[in-house]
Amino acid sequence: MAGELYPGSKKLVPSESSSTLQTYTHSLSPSVSSTSAGSTGGSAGGGSNWQGLFPTIRERNSVMFNNEMMADVHFVVGPPGGTQRVPGHKYVLAVGSSVFHAMFYGELAEDQDEIRIPDVEPPSFLAMLKYIYCDEIDLCADTVLATLYAAKKYIVPHLARACVTFLETSLSAKNACVLLSQSCLFEEPELTERCWEVIDAQAELALRSEGFCDIDAATLESILQRETLNAKEMVVFEAALSWAEAECGRQDLEPTIENKRQVLGKAIYLIRVPTMGLEDFANGAAQSGVLTLTETNDIFLWYTAANKPELLFCTKPRKGLAPQRCHRFQSCAYRSNQWRYRGRCDSIQFAVDKRVFIAGFGLYGSSCGSAEYSARIELKRQGVAMAHRLIKYFSDGSSSTFPVFFEHPVQIEPDTFYTASVILDGNELSYFGQEGMTEVQSGRVTFQFQCSSDSTNGTGVQGGQIPELIFYA
């Protein structure tokens, strides 16, 4: 059928993703466990009245899962050296899959007692059979992609949808590039779109992940030419070299400079080398050895000469993503005896209705002339810090908001409250927000706000600091 979709199944999920993907079990209806079914099936083989133990046909059917009793077909599943023999029941399988129906009862059906399936891993094949026999979806990080392949191959659409949902909910910068590659192979456009959302917003984290080195050449090119990557071009260049070294290993080549350039091929010209800062180029790309002497010389001339040479590299910087701002106050003010800081914390809780990436906050500044502030910003979920940064910003004495950013955007999941906090050190008298809103529509995203117990300086929903959340969506 679609054996080409799933080459090298054991390499589909990078190792670090296992810690971020949680086991997901969903029962479509009450059932006996596979353990109890298996043990009961064993007694059934001895002739006991096991049918009377289960009131529904679904429960009785589940007893047959991975059970030799009444089995009329066997599958030898897995690649040579790693096979497992799995019993099956043609009628049950045909009811659960149109492919099995054609295999056993179609016009071209063959009467085979044993069927070899070398391109599916045994745990994933059993996960598919468990759904067909028991109406149970049992997925985990290590096997979900292989299970999706099996569900696609045997046309079990509800199981395939559950696999995609699992992948979408466990998507992060660590596994986004690998899942992008697989979503294209599996023709899952919604998953592809979600992967691009993460890769664009958290580009530097995604490019530096181990999973980036596992992608295929076509996916590499699609990422390198992406206009909306939020990444410094030097990070893109370094990521491409890391991929090239891994690709040399896959092709049994020594990871020399020449071989890295060879495996990159024309993809090297998708890196916008001339848009790097001159210092980054001189100390990094120019000395990497991957560029030819002519290319290096021409790029130096492009930086400095009035008559710039023509280059094969794109000279136009990437647009990146445009940050959006959620403003939670309708007005701001200042008074002569407040707003003061003195090392106290201003904090607010918020939730969103769809996944976004918080890049930073907009903060008020001095109400009595220009001043510099030191801001300790933090983002927490259920009391656990997800990101924090100590950063300085300059206030010009106006009522404007001034942006401060985390080192990397932070992924925010829907329908969960997060805590945004700041501790300011600087001119004590500043502007503060008034007429705060509990719900704000910002573009396609709805924000909800509530007071935080971490706030010790008076900030709440109605007024205070942190007037803006800066985000990508």
- In the predicted structure, residue 376 carries a pLDDT above the cut 80: yes
Is residue 340 very low, low, confident or very high in pLDDT (cuts 50, 70, 90)?
confident
**Residue 7 or 410, more confident:** 410
Percent of the chain with pLDDT over 70: 89
Question: What pLDDT is attached to residue 367?
Answer: 86
pLDDT tops 90 at residue 334: no
Identify each DSSP E strand in 2-104 by its residue range.
Answer: 24-27, 73-77, 84-88
For the ranges 7-11, 274-278, 421-425, which has the lowest average pLDDT?
7-11
pLDDT band at 20 (very low <50, low <70, confident <90, very high): very low
| DSSP-assigned states of every residue in 402-445 | EEEEEEEEEEE-TT--EEEEEEEES-S-B-EEEEE-SEEEETTE
Check whether 400 has a pLDDT greater than 80.
yes
**Per-residue pLDDT, 430:** 86
Instruction: Note the pLDDT tens digit of each residue in 270-298.
Output: 999 999 999 999 999 999 999 999 999 99
Task: Go through the chain and tell me how many residues it has.
Answer: 473
CA 302 from centre of chain: 37
Region 58-78: what's the mean pLDDT?
A: 93
Model pLDDT, residue 341: 77
Q: Mean pLDDT in the chain? A: 88
Lowest mean pLDDT among 27-36, 191-200, 400-409: 27-36
The phi, psi pair for 45, rounded to 5°, reads: -60, -20
User: Which of the four pLDDT bands, split at 50, 70 and 90, describes residue 47?
Assistant: low
Give the chain's domains with CATH numbers: 3-170 (3.30.710.10), 187-304 (1.25.40), 324-472 (2.60.120.820)
- Which of these ranges, 12-16, 151-155, 182-186, has the smallest mean pLDDT? 12-16
Residue 4 or residue 138, greater confidence: 138
Distance CA 351, CA 413 (A): 8
Cα(176)–Cα(183) distance, rounded to whole angstroms? Answer: 10
Is the pLDDT at 109 greater than 90, yes or no? no
Is the pLDDT score of 454 beyond 90?
yes
Q: What would the pLDDT profile of 114-160 be if each residue is shown by its tens digit? A: 999 999 999 999 999 999 999 999 999 889 999 999 999 999 999 99
| pLDDT, position 143 | 92
Q: Residue 74 above 70 pLDDT?
A: yes
